[in-house]
Each structure stands twice: as structure tokens, then as C-alpha cells.
């Protein structure tokens, strides 16, 4: 089926078009720069930016795909989780499109959409099924979640998630401590390349035996962020120069070590020899490097979609919508609303 997907859960306005698992268009407008002076995504600013960007993004996607809007078989939209005002813009637009075109609408889960990204080939090739079961590690500015996916359209289990800051958020906050601009992830990555990851032993959240009993697959990054801030402050108070590259490298190592260790523990514990990565933090050079190295050591097959499909986008939402259709799911009734805390087990919101 030819499906148009709309994504507005955070600061990316995404419209994607797929035919089954073949990517036809993946157009994204980001309001990231507007959030830079606040050091993080401001919900109201994001919602207004979606309102402005949605129509041009839609037009560009249709032109890129070389289709007519009337050709689409269905519309898919992210209905949660995410920022509620931002989600409402996409949901409203998707409903309006579905009604005016007389096409079925599928309201889907953003996090499962990230898993669906693996269906697509970013260069527009035919795509392929997601190999299942798989563990999925989703890391971005808004989420840090570990999933067990047995079936993309019917069986997704949340194994763990962050109990405080998301991993990307931690990168952004620590960058601020180090005087680096927003978004902090790419900045820390760049600076860390010249640093020693073993220079400072920063804490690994929720990895002590006692914590692992209740939080085996959960993450915590706020203690780490505080530890970095305190370490930097002490240096400054003592009038010493802050070794920015070493701090960045040591911080990055602490985050990445925990992410990969817990993801591979989930693979081992559940007897699942596959790991899929998703989310904007996958851009991190060390995440990719350590994932490749440790997955190989553990005999785990690693999937990392192209970065354009890892960050928030409409194509992954369209791809998940197409799978729901192929599996024979009925469209969502138009009574549904955006749900900022939609649980990952709810792959499609039916009404
Ligand atoms: P959502 O949480 O809904 O997916 P988001 O907009 O927060 O939305 P993305 O756009 O996927 O998420 O990712 C942005 C986040 O990824 C930011 O926090 C940014 O700092 C982080 N990030 C980007 N590049 C890197 C990198 N090289 N290393 C670490 N973090 C990075
Ligand atoms: Mg973003
Ligand atoms: Fe996301």
C-alpha cells in the first residue's frame, strides 16, 4: 500500500511516503535552531513551528515521491508518546487529510515507529522485514527505552526506560556545563574525539547489584550529569583549567557503556541474538563503535538504520502504517486524540 506518514511528536516535522517497505519520500523540517537559546526543546515553540512547517513539508514530500495526494491508500500519524501540543498538530492535520481524501487513518505509536524504520532502505531500495524477535534500544533527546519486539504490529514489550533524563538530554545538559552550544550531542562527540575516556571514572547509573534487582533494564543519567557538573565546578573553584576533551570523553563513555551493556544484557537474558538501534543519539560515534564491537563479541546481530531514519521522521510512521494494513488491521476511528504518555504496548490507537 501507498502510505503517507506524519510525525510531529517533538521538534521534527516529518512527512514520509512509502509503498510497502519502499521509501519514496522522507521530508523533515526541524525547529531545533529555535530551541537553541533555551538549551532544550520548548513545547509551545515546537507546536507553533509544526503548524507553520506542516503544509510545506507535505508539499515537498509529495513532489519528492512523484505522487498525487489522491493516490495514497492511507494516512498514518504519530498519536503518542511525545509533546502533547506538538502531537495535536500532526493528529489534527492527519484527520483533516483522511476526511477530505476519504482515506483510512492509522494512529500509531512513535516508539514502535522507530523500530519500523528498520523496514526501510534510506536510498530508496526495496526494504525488508524487521528480523524478529529483536531487542530495540531507542535513544534520543526525549526517550531512552529498551524494547523486546516479538511482532511489529502486535507484540512489543517495554523492558526498561530512563527513570529521569533521556540520554540525549544528558548530552545537552553536560554540553551546557562545558560551555558548548545546543544541541550538545554532536558537540560532545566532536570534543571527545581528542579526549581520554578513562581519564575520569564517572558513575554508571543503575548498575550496582542492588539497583539491578529492580532496575535491570532501566537507565538513569541525572546522577551522572550532576557528577560531571560537580567535577567541573571543583576544578573551576580551585582555579584550575577544565580538561574539556577528557571530561567529554569520560562522560560519553559512561553513557555509552551503560546503554550498550544493558541492551546486550537484555539480548542475553531473553535469548534474542539481535539488537536494533534507533533515535538521534545513534549519531554518536562511540555508540556505534561500542555497539559494533560488543555485539560482535556477544554473537548478536546488530542493525543500525541510516541516520536519516534513526532521527524522528515521517517515513518510519508510514512504514509502520503499511505493516498494520498488510496485517489486516482496521483503521483507527477518528475519535482518537493525541496521547503524550501512550504506552509502547499500544502499537496502534484504534479510537
Ligand atoms: P524524540 O525524543 O521524540 O525522538 P528528539 O528530537 O529529542 O525527539 P532526536 O531529534 O532523534 O530526538 O535526537 C536529538 C537528540 O540527540 C539531542 O538530544 C542531541 O543532543 C542528541 N544527539 C544528536 N547527535 C548526537 C551525538 N553525536 N551524540 C550524542 N547525542 C547526540
Ligand atoms: Mg529532534
Ligand atoms: Fe523519537
pLDDT of 20-50, one tens digit each? Answer: 999 999 999 999 989 988 888 999 999 999 9
Give strand pairing partners of 107. Answer: 77, 349
CA–CA separation, 249 and 228 (whole Å): 11
Q: Which residues contact 209 (CB under 8 A, 6 or more apart)?
A: none
How is residue 71 written as a grid cell? 493516490
pLDDT value at residue 37? 85
Tell me the CA–centroid distance for residue 182 and ligand 2, in Å: 12
List the Cα angle 14/182/262 in 5-degree steps. Answer: 75
273, 299 contact by CB (below 8 A):
yes
Q: For residues 180 and 166, give the distance between their C-alpha atoms in angstroms, rounded to a whole number.
A: 19
Write the pLDDT tens digit of every residue in 171-217: 999 999 999 999 999 999 999 999 999 999 999 999 999 999 999 99
Q: What is the ipTM of this complex?
A: 0.96
How many angstroms does the Cα of residue 346 sit away from the middle of ligand 1? 24
Q: What is the pTM of this model?
A: 0.96
Which grid cell sits at 74?
A: 492511507
Per-residue model confidence (pLDDT) at position 39: 85
Which numbered ligand comes closest to the C-alpha of 166?
Answer: 1
Q: What percent of the chain has pLDDT over 70?
A: 100
Q: Residues near ligand 1 with C-beta < 6 Å?
A: 9-12, 82, 140-143, 168-169, 171-172, 183-186, 189, 279-281, 283-284, 311-312
Percent of the chain with pLDDT over 90: 98
- Ligand 2 centroid – CA 312 distance (Å): 6
- Report which protein residue has its CA nearest ligand 1's atom 30: 185
Ligand 1 pocket mutation pick from 10, 168, 260 by most atoms within 8 angstroms of CB:
168
Instruction: Find residue 109's DSSP bridge partners.
Output: 80
Residue 206 burial class via C-beta count within 10 angstroms: exposed 0-12, middle 13-18, buried 19 and up: buried
Best residue among 141, 142, 165, 191 to mutate for probing ligand 1's pocket (most ligand atoms within 8 Å of CB) is 141
Amino acid at each position: 500500500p501507498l502510505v503517507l506518514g506524519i510525525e510531529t511528536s517533538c521538534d521534527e516535522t516529518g512527512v514520509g511516503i512509502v509503498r510497502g517497505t519502499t521509501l519514496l519520500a522522507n521530508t523533515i523540517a526541524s525547529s531545533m535552531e529555535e530551541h537553541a537559546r533555551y538549551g532544550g526543546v520548548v513545547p509551545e515553540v515546537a507546536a507553533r513551528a509544526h503548524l507553520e512547517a506542516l503544509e510545506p513539508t507535505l508539499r515537498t514530500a509529495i513532489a519528492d515521491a512523484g505522487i498525487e495526494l489522491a493516490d495514497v491508500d492511507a494516512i498514518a500519524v504519530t498519536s503518542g508518546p511525545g509533546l502533547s501540543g506538538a502531537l495535536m498538530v500532526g493528529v489534527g492535520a492527519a484527520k483533516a487529510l483522511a476526511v477530505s481524501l476519504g482515506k483510512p487513518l492509522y494512529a500509531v505509536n512513535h516508539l514502535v515507529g522507530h523500530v519500523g524504520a528498520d523496514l526501510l532502505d534510506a536510498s530508496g531500495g526495496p526494504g525488508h522485514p524487521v528480523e524478529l524477535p529483536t531487542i530495540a534500544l531507542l535513544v534520543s533527546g526525549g526517550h531512552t527505552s529498551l524494547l523486546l519486539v516479538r511482532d511489529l504490529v502486535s507484540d512489543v514489550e517495554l523492558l526498561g526506560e530512563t527513570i529521569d533524563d533521556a540520554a540525549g538530554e544528558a548530552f545537552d545538559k553536560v554540553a551546557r556545563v562545558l560551555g558548548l552550544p545546543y544541541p550538545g550531542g554532536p558537540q560532545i562527540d566532536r570534543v571527545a574525539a581528542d579526549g581520554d575516556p578513562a581519564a575520569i571514572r564517572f558513575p554508571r547509573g543503575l548498575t550496582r547489584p542492588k539497583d539491578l534487582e529492580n532496575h535491570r533494564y532501566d537507565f538513569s543519567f541525572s546522577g551522572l550529569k550532576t557528577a560531571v557538573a560537580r567535577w567541573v565546578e571543583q576544578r573551576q573553584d580551585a582555579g584550575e583549567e577544565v580538561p574539556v576533551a577528557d571530561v567529554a570523553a569520560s562522560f560519553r563513555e559512561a553513557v555509552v557503556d551503560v546503554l550498550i551493556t544493558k541492551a546486550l544484557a537484555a539480548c542475553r537474558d531473553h535469548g534474542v541474538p539481535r539488537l536494533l538501534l534507533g533515535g538521534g543519539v545513534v549519531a554518536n560515534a562511540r555508540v556505534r563503535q561500542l555497539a559494533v564491537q560488543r555485539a560482535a563479541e556477544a554473537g548478536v546481530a546488530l542493525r543500525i538504520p541510516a541516520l536519516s531514519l534513526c532521527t524522528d521522521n515521517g517515513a518510519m510512521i508510514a512504514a509502520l502504517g503499511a505493516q498494520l494494513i498488510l496485517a489486516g488491521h482496521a483503521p483507527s476511528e477518528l475519535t482518537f486524540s493525541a496521547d503524550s504518555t501512550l504506552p509502547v504496548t499500544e502499537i496502534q490507537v484504534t479510537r
